[in-house]
Amino acid sequence: MFIDHFLMCHRRFEALESSYLSGLEWLNTEEPLSIYKDLCGKVVVLDFFTYCCINCIHVLPDLHALEHRFSDKDGLLIVGVHSAKFPNEKVLDNIKSAVLRYNITHPVVNDADASLWQELEVSCWPTLVILGPRGNLLFSLIGEGHRDKLFSYTSIALKYYKDRGQIRDGKIGIKLFKESLPPSPLLFPGKVAMDHATGRLVVADTGHHRILVIQKNGRIQSSIGGPNPGRKDGMFSESSFNSPQGVAIADNVIYVADTENHLIRKIDLEAEKVTTVAGVGVQGTDTEGGEEGDKQPISSPWDVALGTSGSEVQRNDILWIAMAGTHQIWALLLDSGTLPKKSDLKKGTCIRFAGSGNEENRNNAYPHKAGFAQPSGLALASEEPWSCLFVADSESSTVRTVSLRDGAVKHLVGGERDPMNLFAFGDVDGAGINAKLQHPLGVAWDEERQVLYVADSYNHKIKVVDPKTKGCTTLAGTGDASDASSSFAESAFNEPGGLCIGESGRLLYVADTNNHQIKVMDLEARTVSVLPVCKSDSAVVDGSFPREKQKTVPKVPKSAPHIGLPPVTVHPGQALQLRLKLQLPPGAKLTEGAPSCWFLEAEGNEWLLQEQIPSGDIENISNQPAISLQIPTHCLSLEAVVSVIVFLYYCSADSSACMMKGVVFRQPLQITSTQPACAAPVELTYAF
């Protein structure tokens, strides 16, 4: 019985592997996994994720727990399928860094061209797909928050197939990438802050799960927490954090966004003690707040900034929080005070300030009706005429402002006008909406020059924004994910995540995350250097990444219809016009920044496409492209079939999830030497 089962499984997985997995890159394995060899006889959980996505990050603890509950010996195998949203995320070295940052210990495959994504008809991040030991699809879970169902379904499936003798005990060859890393003083530092009173630097050494206080010369003065993740208050020697990000310091007190613990922590440098001031230690779903801090559940705080409430005296009595997990801006009252459009609030209150909780790029005069998409960086400009928070809104690739006078949320640079389009990214200097960013994570306000610095993380650049003109220009970085300290123009960064101003506005400190460094930008000399926290001979994990491969035809989903068209008579030298007439579902909008496109194929008649334009973009559903097919003057056959493959990204009317859909039009051609009357354009019509 088992031999029959194995042969059937072998055939199913072999077909999948030969069609979709040939040549894909793997991480955390001794060698590329063979689907039909290694996955046959297992219950397989495929985690479709992209490493920028906070919802995907929220699923990882569930998968870690599942791995501890069951192993490959029990018949379970978890495979991360990284299907990128941003171009920067397709690069293997960048995925390696994410695997290290998030302590992913199961195999991960780089599904850069979304082959597996489309084969299994996945439509949004995150999605968990569970396969049986024959490669049969058992069920899928879309989004986060399905831990109980995941454990229940997996345990039932393992027992069911084990009782029937269909589970194999074969062990997977795991080789963790992190085991090859040399020791380093910093590991993926996420954020940095300056103590303007003493000149000390505070660094969130995220990968080491600790907070460092560093003197101007780079010497570490205090190390709090680490090297392993944990959640413990107390004296410095016993306290612990879990992937901390944002830090803010004033009066010998550091506030920390303890991201993966879903907490805000307070470090008292004089008492050498750590306490929790907000959060309960588990991910919250509340989008309103209003409870006392240590009773209020919160979700993945990513940055913090100290500010002042409605009082006239500047006293740092509010901690602003970029709550990435609920796509909002929150406030923690460090003393009794007021917020715009709110009555008096007592000390310790933790409450939503702006953002509906929907993942959107929506600006609005009413703060609770505005929408953010994973806000990840904050900078305060308390002086007039600004009186605002600047927000690096990473998933919309924008920088926004939140008024401290009335809470109004406004656009500054990046993105586009459609609040549902979270794919309007790029690397373009310009003004306002004409400027394009790619997943910015950090901002810093220069009060002296009245400009904003932006860590344009996935473009590996530092940019500067003039809020008066909304002009956004590149200040430093070549755009390559590399490591170079030189002039601004020749310097290189690798996913910089945090910024802060120091030395009375002369220096800009950069948490150069994937280079495991703090870089120092001299704004007057226009040079970049490395703060010598790391030794000069310390190794850099990731080097420069290869350029994008030439565009190839993506795999069309299995559900994509194949539409056969009536034959058309053409003659050599004729230009045949093929006009797309695609219709989206009611209320749906094409995601303009995503790579919606068309391709031409002529299988078995490749001569037909010589010197043709083989592909193009679809940028506007109301003005769709006309495809010109030039029939060669020398035809090798009197009959041929040309296929037009259409690949669309669009957002449905009731959801911000990006759909990937496809359709294939097959147009038979009958080639004749006699010149017929002028042929009418062929309309390629389909309603999704």
Structure tokens at 399: 């920088």
Shared-domain flag, residues 472 and 570: no
* Total count of residues recorded for the chain: 688
Measured CA to CA in angstroms, residue 226 lies from 186, 237, 244, 346 at distances of 11, 10, 10, 34
Structure tokens at 552: 């190839």
What is the distance between the alpha carbons of residues 476 and 629, in angstroms, rounded to a whole number? 44
pLDDT one-digit tens code per residue, 508-542: 999 999 999 999 999 999 999 988 884 323 322 22
Indicate the residue among 124, 152, 179 that finishes a domain: 179
Overall average pLDDT of the 353-361 stretch = 97
Q: Which pLDDT score is estimated for 617?
A: 84
Q: Which pLDDT score is estimated for 172?
A: 76
The CATH number of residue 118's host domain is 3.40.30.10
Contacts for 97-101: CB closer than 8 Å, 24+ residues apart: 97/188, 97/494, 97/495, 97/513, 97/514, 97/541, 97/542, 98/51, 99/27, 99/28, 99/177, 99/178, 100/177, 100/178, 100/181, 100/187, 100/188, 100/207, 100/541, 101/188, 101/206, 101/207, 101/243
What band does 168 get if pLDDT is binned at 50, 70 and 90?
confident
Shared-domain flag, residues 267 and 363: yes
Shared-domain flag, residues 228 and 160: no
Residue type, 251: D
Q: How many domains is the chain built from?
A: 3
The CATH number of residue 592's host domain is 2.60.40
Higher pLDDT, 153 or 19: 153
Answer whether the bond into residue 385 is a cis peptide, omega within 30°: yes
Residue type, 634: H
pLDDT one-digit tens code per residue, 428-445: 999 999 999 999 999 999
Q: Is residue 545 part of a domain?
A: no
What band does 613 get if pLDDT is binned at 50, 70 and 90?
confident
Q: Is residue 539 part of a domain?
A: no
The CATH number of residue 490's host domain is 2.120.10.30
User: Residue 31, exposed/middle/buried by CB under 10 A (0-12, 13-18, 19+)?
Assistant: exposed
DSSP 8-class letter at 495: S
Shared-domain flag, residues 79 and 217: no
Structure tokens at 142: 């879309």
pLDDT at residue 30 above 90?
no
Phi, psi of 53 (to 5 degrees): -85, 120
What is the distance between the alpha carbons of residues 229 and 207, in angstroms, rounded to a whole number? 9
What band does 179 get if pLDDT is binned at 50, 70 and 90?
low
Q: Among 100-109, 304-313, 331-340, name the one with the lowest average pLDDT.
A: 304-313
Cβ proximity of 266 and 252 under 8 Å? no
Q: Is residue 341 part of a domain?
A: yes
Domain with 428, as residue range(s), is: 189-530
pLDDT one-digit tens code per residue, 314-326: 678 999 999 999 9
Higher pLDDT, 545 or 120: 120
Higher pLDDT, 293 or 170: 293
Q: Phi-psi category of 291—alpha, beta or left, where left has phi over 0 and alpha has psi -120 to 50?
A: beta
Residue 247 burial (CB count, 10 A):
27
Shared-domain flag, residues 508 and 620: no
pLDDT at residue 616 above 60?
yes
Q: Is residue 538 part of a domain?
A: no
pLDDT at residue 174 above 80?
no
Indicate the residue among 126, 160, 179 that finishes a domain: 179
What is the distance between the alpha carbons of residues 453 and 521, in angstroms, rounded to a whole number? 11
Q: Is residue 205 part of a domain?
A: yes
pLDDT one-digit tens code per residue, 265-292: 999 999 999 999 999 999 999 999 999 9
What band does 56 get if pLDDT is binned at 50, 70 and 90?
very high
Shared-domain flag, residues 371 and 333: yes
pLDDT at residue 671 above 90?
no
Shared-domain flag, residues 289 and 356: yes
Measured CA to CA in angstroms, residue 179 lies from 91, 117, 218 at distances of 21, 29, 27
Shared-domain flag, residues 115 and 158: yes
Shared-domain flag, residues 501 and 583: no
pLDDT at residue 201 above 90?
yes
Tell me what percent of the residues of the chain surpass a pLDDT of 70: 89
pLDDT at residue 3 above 60?
no
Overall average pLDDT of the 39-47 stretch = 91
- The average confidence (pLDDT) of the chain is 88
What is the distance between the alpha carbons of residues 364 and 103, in angstroms, rounded to a whole number? 38
Q: Which pLDDT score is estimated for 649?
A: 79
What band does 159 get if pLDDT is binned at 50, 70 and 90?
very high
Overall average pLDDT of the 493-509 stretch = 94
Q: Which pLDDT score is estimated for 15?
A: 47
What band does 626 get if pLDDT is binned at 50, 70 and 90?
confident
DSSP 8-class letter at 21: I
Indicate the residue among 179, 211, 231 that finishes a domain: 179
What band does 552 get if pLDDT is binned at 50, 70 and 90?
low
User: Residue 3, exposed/middle/buried by CB under 10 A (0-12, 13-18, 19+)?
Assistant: exposed
Contacts for 211-220: CB closer than 8 Å, 24+ residues apart: 211/241, 211/244, 211/247, 211/254, 211/256, 211/267, 212/186, 212/533, 213/254, 213/269, 214/518, 214/531, 214/533, 217/532, 218/531, 218/532, 218/533, 220/185, 220/533
pLDDT at residue 239 above 90?
yes
DSSP 8-class letter at 362: B
Shared-domain flag, residues 249 and 359: yes
Q: Is residue 62 part of a domain?
A: yes
What band does 675 get if pLDDT is binned at 50, 70 and 90?
low
Q: Which pLDDT score is estimated for 295?
A: 96
Q: Which pLDDT score is estimated for 631?
A: 84
Q: Is residue 540 part of a domain?
A: no
What is the distance between the alpha carbons of residues 568 and 562, in angstroms, rounded to a whole number? 18
pLDDT at residue 10 above 50?
no
What band does 253 get if pLDDT is binned at 50, 70 and 90?
very high
Q: Is residue 582 part of a domain?
A: yes
pLDDT at residue 478 above 90?
yes
Q: Which helix (H) or strand (E) holds 137?
A: strand 137-142
Shared-domain flag, residues 230 and 336: yes
Half-sphere exposure of 512 (CA within 13 A, CB side): 33
Q: Which pLDDT score is estimated for 507?
A: 95
Structure tokens at 619: 């940028």
Q: Among 7-11, 105-109, 407-411, 600-604, name the one with the lowest average pLDDT.
A: 7-11
pLDDT at residue 452 above 70?
yes
Shared-domain flag, residues 166 and 293: no
Half-sphere exposure of 51 (CA within 13 A, CB side): 27
